[in-house]
Chains A and B, each alone.
Chain A
Protein backbone atom coordinates (compact mmCIF):
# COMPACT_ATOMS: atom_id res chain seq x y z
CA UNK A 1 0.00 0.00 0.00
CA UNK A 2 1.58 3.22 -1.18
CA UNK A 3 1.33 5.95 1.45
CA UNK A 4 1.89 9.66 1.66
CA UNK A 5 2.24 11.13 5.14
CA UNK A 6 1.72 14.71 6.25
CA UNK A 7 1.37 16.34 9.65
CA UNK A 8 -2.25 17.49 9.90
CA UNK A 9 -1.33 20.65 11.80
CA UNK A 10 -2.45 23.29 12.16
CA UNK A 11 0.87 24.94 11.47
CA UNK A 12 0.63 28.49 12.74
CA UNK A 13 3.11 31.13 11.56
CA UNK A 14 3.12 34.94 11.81
CA UNK A 15 2.66 37.04 8.72
CA UNK A 16 5.96 37.52 6.89
CA UNK A 17 7.54 34.33 8.23
CA UNK A 18 8.59 31.24 6.29
CA UNK A 19 6.15 28.35 6.45
CA UNK A 20 7.66 24.90 6.02
CA UNK A 21 5.37 22.04 5.05
CA UNK A 22 6.65 18.48 4.96
CA UNK A 23 5.65 15.22 3.32
CA UNK A 24 7.07 11.70 3.26
CA UNK A 25 6.17 8.90 0.90
CA UNK A 26 6.58 5.15 1.03
CA UNK A 27 7.11 4.12 -2.61
CA UNK A 28 10.75 4.48 -3.66
CA UNK A 29 9.64 4.22 -7.28
CA UNK A 30 7.69 7.48 -7.10
CA UNK A 31 8.73 9.87 -9.83
CA UNK A 32 6.52 12.95 -9.65
CA UNK A 33 5.58 15.09 -6.68
CA UNK A 34 2.93 17.76 -6.39
CA UNK A 35 1.73 20.36 -3.95
CA UNK A 36 -1.88 21.49 -4.02
CA UNK A 37 -3.53 24.23 -2.00
CA UNK A 38 -7.14 23.82 -0.92
CA UNK A 39 -9.14 26.62 0.62
CA UNK A 40 -12.10 25.65 2.75
CA UNK A 41 -15.05 24.74 0.56
CA UNK A 42 -12.99 24.85 -2.63
CA UNK A 43 -11.31 22.27 -4.82
CA UNK A 44 -7.53 21.67 -4.81
CA UNK A 45 -5.40 24.09 -6.80
CA UNK A 46 -2.01 23.02 -8.15
CA UNK A 47 0.83 25.12 -6.75
CA UNK A 48 3.96 23.31 -7.81
CA UNK A 49 5.33 20.05 -9.13
CA UNK A 50 8.85 18.67 -8.89
CA UNK A 51 10.49 15.67 -10.50
CA UNK A 52 14.21 15.99 -9.72
CA UNK A 53 16.17 16.04 -6.49
CA UNK A 54 16.90 19.51 -5.21
CA UNK A 55 14.96 22.75 -5.09
CA UNK A 56 12.47 24.31 -7.46
CA UNK A 57 11.41 27.90 -6.93
CA UNK A 58 8.33 29.72 -8.18
CA UNK A 59 7.76 33.13 -6.69
CA UNK A 60 7.31 32.82 -2.93
CA UNK A 61 7.13 29.03 -3.16
CA UNK A 62 10.01 26.55 -3.12
CA UNK A 63 9.57 22.81 -3.44
CA UNK A 64 12.37 20.60 -2.17
CA UNK A 65 12.78 16.93 -3.07
CA UNK A 66 15.09 14.35 -1.52
CA UNK A 67 14.42 10.96 -3.08
CA UNK A 68 17.01 9.17 -0.94
CA UNK A 69 15.12 10.23 2.18
CA UNK A 70 11.71 9.95 0.44
CA UNK A 71 10.90 13.44 1.54
CA UNK A 72 9.37 16.43 -0.20
CA UNK A 73 8.71 19.82 1.31
CA UNK A 74 7.14 23.14 0.42
CA UNK A 75 8.50 26.43 1.71
CA UNK A 76 6.36 29.55 1.58
CA UNK A 77 8.34 32.75 2.04
CA UNK A 78 6.82 35.99 3.30
CA UNK A 79 3.67 34.15 4.37
CA UNK A 80 0.43 36.08 4.00
CA UNK A 81 -2.94 35.55 5.71
CA UNK A 82 -4.26 34.62 2.26
CA UNK A 83 -1.94 31.60 2.33
CA UNK A 84 -4.03 30.12 5.13
CA UNK A 85 -5.36 26.88 3.65
CA UNK A 86 -4.80 23.14 3.64
CA UNK A 87 -1.78 22.03 1.63
CA UNK A 88 -1.96 18.61 0.05
CA UNK A 89 1.08 16.62 -1.01
CA UNK A 90 0.52 14.17 -3.87
CA UNK A 91 2.78 11.54 -5.38
CA UNK A 92 2.69 9.69 -8.67
CA UNK A 93 4.58 6.43 -8.77
CA UNK A 94 3.67 4.70 -12.00
CA UNK A 95 2.83 5.38 -15.61
CA UNK A 96 -0.92 5.62 -15.13
CA UNK A 97 -0.84 9.22 -13.90
CA UNK A 98 -2.62 8.19 -10.71
CA UNK A 99 -2.02 10.48 -7.74
CA UNK A 100 -1.87 9.40 -4.12
CA UNK A 101 -2.67 12.23 -1.74
CA UNK A 102 -1.55 12.86 1.79
CA UNK A 103 -4.08 13.92 4.39
CA UNK A 104 -2.99 17.54 4.13
CA UNK A 105 -1.47 20.11 6.49
CA UNK A 106 -3.58 23.04 7.60
CA UNK A 107 -1.62 26.30 7.57
CA UNK A 108 -2.70 29.36 9.55
CA UNK A 109 -0.90 32.64 8.90
CA UNK A 110 -1.53 35.09 11.75
CA UNK A 111 -1.77 38.80 10.81
Chain B
Protein backbone atom coordinates (compact mmCIF):
# COMPACT_ATOMS: atom_id res chain seq x y z
CA UNK B 1 0.00 0.00 0.00
CA UNK B 2 1.07 3.58 -0.63
CA UNK B 3 2.52 5.63 2.21
CA UNK B 4 0.91 9.05 2.44
CA UNK B 5 2.12 12.11 4.30
CA UNK B 6 0.34 15.37 4.95
CA UNK B 7 1.52 18.80 5.99
CA UNK B 8 0.76 20.48 8.28
CA UNK B 9 -0.38 17.90 10.81
CA UNK B 10 -2.36 20.55 12.65
CA UNK B 11 -2.92 24.29 12.61
CA UNK B 12 -4.85 27.01 14.38
CA UNK B 13 -6.02 29.74 12.04
CA UNK B 14 -7.87 33.00 12.24
CA UNK B 15 -11.26 33.55 10.66
CA UNK B 16 -11.03 34.88 7.10
CA UNK B 17 -7.62 33.43 6.32
CA UNK B 18 -6.74 30.50 4.06
CA UNK B 19 -4.72 27.34 4.67
CA UNK B 20 -3.14 25.06 2.09
CA UNK B 21 -2.72 21.40 3.01
CA UNK B 22 -0.20 19.27 1.17
CA UNK B 23 -0.50 15.56 0.47
CA UNK B 24 2.46 13.49 -0.75
CA UNK B 25 2.30 9.85 -1.82
CA UNK B 26 5.44 7.71 -1.99
CA UNK B 27 4.47 6.18 -5.34
CA UNK B 28 2.52 7.18 -8.42
CA UNK B 29 -1.20 6.65 -7.91
CA UNK B 30 -4.15 7.00 -10.22
CA UNK B 31 -6.63 8.47 -7.79
CA UNK B 32 -6.29 10.98 -4.98
CA UNK B 33 -9.15 12.18 -2.84
CA UNK B 34 -9.80 14.79 -0.18
CA UNK B 35 -12.16 14.12 2.75
CA UNK B 36 -13.39 16.08 5.72
CA UNK B 37 -14.16 14.56 9.10
CA UNK B 38 -15.93 16.93 11.43
CA UNK B 39 -15.77 16.28 15.19
CA UNK B 40 -17.56 13.05 16.09
CA UNK B 41 -18.63 12.49 12.49
CA UNK B 42 -17.73 10.14 9.70
CA UNK B 43 -15.82 10.98 6.55
CA UNK B 44 -17.33 13.14 3.82
CA UNK B 45 -15.74 13.26 0.39
CA UNK B 46 -14.90 16.80 -0.69
CA UNK B 47 -13.48 16.10 -4.14
CA UNK B 48 -11.47 13.84 -6.39
CA UNK B 49 -8.15 15.38 -7.35
CA UNK B 50 -7.54 14.75 -11.03
CA UNK B 51 -4.04 14.89 -12.44
CA UNK B 52 -3.81 17.49 -15.18
CA UNK B 53 -7.39 18.66 -14.97
CA UNK B 54 -9.82 20.34 -12.61
CA UNK B 55 -10.91 18.49 -9.49
CA UNK B 56 -14.34 16.86 -9.35
CA UNK B 57 -16.30 18.25 -6.41
CA UNK B 58 -19.08 16.56 -4.46
CA UNK B 59 -22.40 18.17 -3.77
CA UNK B 60 -22.05 20.92 -1.20
CA UNK B 61 -18.40 21.67 -1.96
CA UNK B 62 -17.22 24.31 -4.42
CA UNK B 63 -13.92 25.19 -6.02
CA UNK B 64 -13.89 28.75 -4.70
CA UNK B 65 -13.98 27.48 -1.12
CA UNK B 66 -11.78 24.39 -1.56
CA UNK B 67 -9.42 24.86 -4.51
CA UNK B 68 -7.42 21.72 -5.26
CA UNK B 69 -4.29 21.18 -7.27
CA UNK B 70 -2.76 17.95 -8.54
CA UNK B 71 0.34 18.74 -10.59
CA UNK B 72 1.56 15.13 -10.81
CA UNK B 73 0.74 11.54 -9.81
CA UNK B 74 2.24 11.78 -6.32
CA UNK B 75 1.19 15.18 -4.97
CA UNK B 76 -1.95 17.22 -4.30
CA UNK B 77 -2.94 20.28 -2.32
CA UNK B 78 -6.24 21.36 -0.79
CA UNK B 79 -6.78 24.97 0.19
CA UNK B 80 -9.45 25.92 2.70
CA UNK B 81 -10.31 29.52 1.78
CA UNK B 82 -11.82 32.35 3.78
CA UNK B 83 -12.10 30.11 6.81
CA UNK B 84 -14.81 30.26 9.45
CA UNK B 85 -15.12 28.29 12.70
CA UNK B 86 -17.41 25.84 10.84
CA UNK B 87 -14.37 24.75 8.83
CA UNK B 88 -12.75 23.35 11.97
CA UNK B 89 -12.30 19.72 11.09
CA UNK B 90 -9.85 17.00 10.19
CA UNK B 91 -8.91 17.04 6.52
CA UNK B 92 -7.70 13.75 5.09
CA UNK B 93 -6.25 12.85 1.75
CA UNK B 94 -6.32 9.34 0.37
CA UNK B 95 -4.99 7.50 -2.61
CA UNK B 96 -6.66 4.76 -4.62
CA UNK B 97 -4.97 1.84 -6.32
CA UNK B 98 -5.99 -0.58 -9.02
CA UNK B 99 -7.99 -2.68 -6.54
CA UNK B 100 -10.15 0.31 -5.69
CA UNK B 101 -8.88 0.29 -2.13
CA UNK B 102 -8.05 3.64 -0.57
CA UNK B 103 -5.37 4.41 1.96
CA UNK B 104 -5.43 7.51 4.10
CA UNK B 105 -2.86 10.01 5.16
CA UNK B 106 -2.49 10.96 8.83
CA UNK B 107 -4.81 13.95 8.48
CA UNK B 108 -4.58 17.68 9.15
CA UNK B 109 -6.35 18.92 12.25
CA UNK B 110 -7.63 22.43 11.66
CA UNK B 111 -9.04 24.77 14.28
CA UNK B 112 -10.45 28.09 13.13
CA UNK B 113 -10.90 30.79 15.74
Interface residues of A (CB under 8 A from B): 32, 34, 36, 42-46, 49, 88, 92, 96-104
Of A46, A101, A102, which contacts B101 at CB under 8 A? A46
Q: Please judge, given known A-B contacts A43-B106, A46-B1, A96-B48, whether A88 and B43 are in contact too, CB under 8 Å.
A: yes
Among B56, B99, B104, residue most surrounded by chain A Cβ atoms (within 10 Å): B104
B92 to A, closest residue via Cβ: A43
Q: Check A98 against B101 for contact (C-beta < 8 Å).
A: no
Q: SS class of chain B's interface: helix, strand, loop or mixed?
A: strand
Q: Check B100 against A97 for contact (C-beta < 8 Å).
A: yes
A34 to B, closest residue via Cβ: B101
Interface size grouping (class) on chain B: 20 to 34
A to B CB contacts below 8 Å, 16 in the list: A36-B104, A43-B90, A43-B105, A46-B1, A49-B101, A92-B100, A96-B48, A97-B48, A97-B100, A97-B102, A98-B33, A101-B42, A101-B43, A102-B42, A103-B41, A103-B42
